Amino acid sequence: MEPNIIKERICSQDGSCDCLTVGDLAPCTIVIFGASGDLTARKLIPALYHMYLTGSLPDPVSIVGCARTPLSSDEFRSLMQEACEVNGKADMSGWSEFASFLFYRQLIYNSENSFRELAAYLSELDGQWGTKGNLVFDLALPPSLYAVVAEMLGRAGLADQHKENRGWSRIVVEKPFGRDLDSALDLDRTLHEYFQEKQIFRIDHYLAKETVQNILMFRFANTIFEPIWNRGYIDSVGIMAAEKLGVENRAGYYEQAGVIRDMFQNHMLQLMSLIAMEAPSHFESERVRDEKVKLFRSIRPFSRREGEVVLGQYGPGMLDGKGVKGYRQEPGVAPESLIPTFALMNFYVENWRWQGVPFCLVSGKRMARKETRIIIQFKEVPHSIFRDVLGEKIIPNRLVLSIYPEEGISLTFQTKNPGARVCLRPMTMDFRYDTGSVLDAYEKVLLDCILGDHLLFWRQDGIEQTWRILTPILNECEHCQGRRQHLHTYPAGSWGPDAAGEQVDKIRDRREVKSAP
């Protein structure tokens, strides 16, 4: 049987909070495929090391890196130590002990024999470390290898649970989950041929950020917001995920993906679902994911009306006072590439709560700064009693959920400006996570995978629904006549193409608003 997971939150009256996981954090072996790659060095091993330092890893645990690169375990440990020194946020005082349960195996991904040898090695390691046959397989690989590795794991018997003294077996898949609806269904068929849905953990690390997790708490644990969380009071919703970086060393992937596949199918629509979904009957992973799927099914089918979709590609520009290349000048990018690096999309939800409210989703590369935020724009007051007296237009209330660079929540409202003169002044109430201890997103998703908690992970029907929404958009954008004319160039270091400027400015509204004391 899989461990019974109970989560308990103990909060003191002064507002501090200790989050405890009560139950069985089962011993396991974590197997990372793609262990010689960038994701492992930059994110996974630093996250696992920090989890070890904070006591968030099982005891016992072993970690096995697998890749095609010929390395010994000692060479792998040395490389990962260097990576943690560069990318980690913890001191290295505990590295020697952590490295003692870090191992490496060279592997050929399409070789069943190679995987059978891995199975024998993992069985031997399990006997030495006492990890009770529990296995986590993390696919830090190019998407083209997901189905191959899943099939090889199945053929080698590593996907089987609770057989021959083996415990549970779980597979972790990074986005993208296919490149359109058909490929997503193909990947799903391969995964489900060998793994049950409850064994599959499809990561979206955005969901592990504190502010993102806080959205459901904010909405459904406070009576003051949920009654006005609808078309009667909300004018629009804006979601922006701007990136300062270009494609860096991922041109091969990005030339096949573009911004819609890279950001909208996962991160952007997940954020929208948390804002727009109905309340689940219980705070439980399946109930929450049920409501997300209902929301995705309610999104209006795509139509190419003016301003509903704006696509762009960054050209040469200036960032931090330095000249940077345009997308087509990046190494590995086709000189005449028509891949969008920026997209603005307006979605509408066809239900009673949200009918007529636009959800404006924006994401792009090489923008002026890295910034992720959600803006709830409330409607203007229906009748201003101050307009004739003060001659002022009342600025509507805004709720801003900041995800990056800082994580927090701000609410803008109107007050009287102190002094003899009667006039209005916008103020904000701010909450920030600056003073708290915040788990890294990869630490959170790895911990939840070990616990078997699916709340922060995609379910297959949710993936299918998002591709049903986006595949017609992709087909229209990639195969329409005049495709070149629909792709707007914007300078690197700007906030996107002029065609999207008005809507982007609305999301990025930076009025000087004083904080409430």
* Amino acid letter, residue 337: S
User: Which runs of consecutive H residues, i.e. helices, occur in 26-94?
Assistant: 38-39, 45-53, 73-87
At 324 the three-state DSSP class reads strand
Q: Is the dihedral of CA 376, 379, 385, 389 positive or negative?
A: positive
Would residue 314 be called left, alpha or beta, if left means φ above 0 and alpha means ψ between -120 and 50 degrees? beta
- Which two structure tokens, joined as six digits, stand for 242? 């701007």
**Whether the Cβ atoms of residue 139 and residue 33 lie closer than 8 Å to each other:** yes
Which residues does residue 240 pair with via DSSP β-bridges, in sequence order?
362, 373
**Whether the Cβ atoms of residue 207 and residue 496 lie closer than 8 Å to each other:** no
**Whether the Cβ atoms of residue 319 and residue 331 lie closer than 8 Å to each other:** no
**pLDDT 10s digits, 487-515:** 999 999 999 999 999 999 888 875 444 44
Residue in 44, 50, 61, 66 with CA at minimum distance from that of residue 134: 61
Residue in 184, 211, 212 with CA at minimum distance from that of residue 269: 212
Proportion of the chain in helix, strand, coil states, percent, rounded to 5: 40, 25, 40
Please give the biggest Cα pair distance in the chain. 84
* Amino acid letter, residue 216: L
- Which two structure tokens, joined as six digits, stand for 64? 């096995």
**Whether the Cβ atoms of residue 349 and residue 295 lie closer than 8 Å to each other:** yes
- Which two structure tokens, joined as six digits, stand for 246? 């270009």
192 is catalytic: no
| CA–CA distance, 120 with 134 (Å, rounded to integer) | 14
Digit-by-digit pLDDT tens for the chain (517 residues) are 333 333 333 343 344 444 444 346 899 999 999 999 989 999 999 999 999 998 889 999 999 999 999 999 999 999 999 999 887 666 888 999 999 999 999 999 999 999 999 999 999 999 999 999 999 999 999 888 999 999 999 999 999 875 666 789 999 998 888 889 999 999 999 999 999 999 999 988 888 877 788 899 999 999 999 899 999 999 999 999 999 999 988 888 899 999 999 999 999 999 999 999 999 999 999 999 999 999 999 999 887 666 689 999 999 999 999 999 999 999 999 999 999 999 999 999 999 999 999 999 999 999 999 999 999 999 988 887 776 555 566 788 999 999 888 888 999 888 877 776 777 778 888 888 765 556 788 898 899 999 999 998 999 999 999 999 999 888 888 876 667 778 999 999 999 999 999 999 888 875 444 444 4
Q: For helices 45-53 and 73-87, what crossing angle results, to 10°?
A: 80
User: Exposed/middle/buried for 484, CB within 10 Å: 0-12, 13-18, 19+?
Assistant: exposed
Integer angstrom CA distances of residue 245 from 192, 259, 292, 313: 36, 13, 30, 13
- Which two structure tokens, joined as six digits, stand for 61? 């645990």
- Which two structure tokens, joined as six digits, stand for 353? 């709560």
Check 50, 205, 267, 454 and give the catalytic one.
267
**pLDDT 10s digits, 33-66:** 999 998 999 999 999 999 999 888 999 999 999 9
**Confidence at residue 7, expressed as pLDDT on a 0 to 100 scale:** 39
| CA–CA distance, 129 with 124 (Å, rounded to integer) | 9
**Confidence at residue 440, expressed as pLDDT on a 0 to 100 scale:** 81
Would residue 332 be called left, alpha or beta, if left means φ above 0 and alpha means ψ between -120 and 50 degrees? left
Integer angstrom CA distances of residue 322 from 314, 325, 332: 15, 10, 22
Q: Is the dihedral of CA 79, 83, 85, 91 positive or negative?
A: negative
**Confidence at residue 413, expressed as pLDDT on a 0 to 100 scale:** 86
The model carries a pTM of 0.87
**Confidence at residue 305, expressed as pLDDT on a 0 to 100 scale:** 65
Give the pairing type, strands 408-416 and 398-404: antiparallel
**Whether the Cβ atoms of residue 108 and residue 147 lie closer than 8 Å to each other:** no
**Confidence at residue 86, expressed as pLDDT on a 0 to 100 scale:** 83
Integer angstrom CA distances of residue 93 from 99, 187, 231: 11, 42, 54
Angle at 404 between CA 400 and CA 405, to 5 degrees: 115
Name all contacts of 13-18 with Cβ < 8 Å and 24+ positions apart. 17/436
Would residue 496 be called left, alpha or beta, if left means φ above 0 and alpha means ψ between -120 and 50 degrees? left
| CA–CA distance, 227 with 219 (Å, rounded to integer) | 10
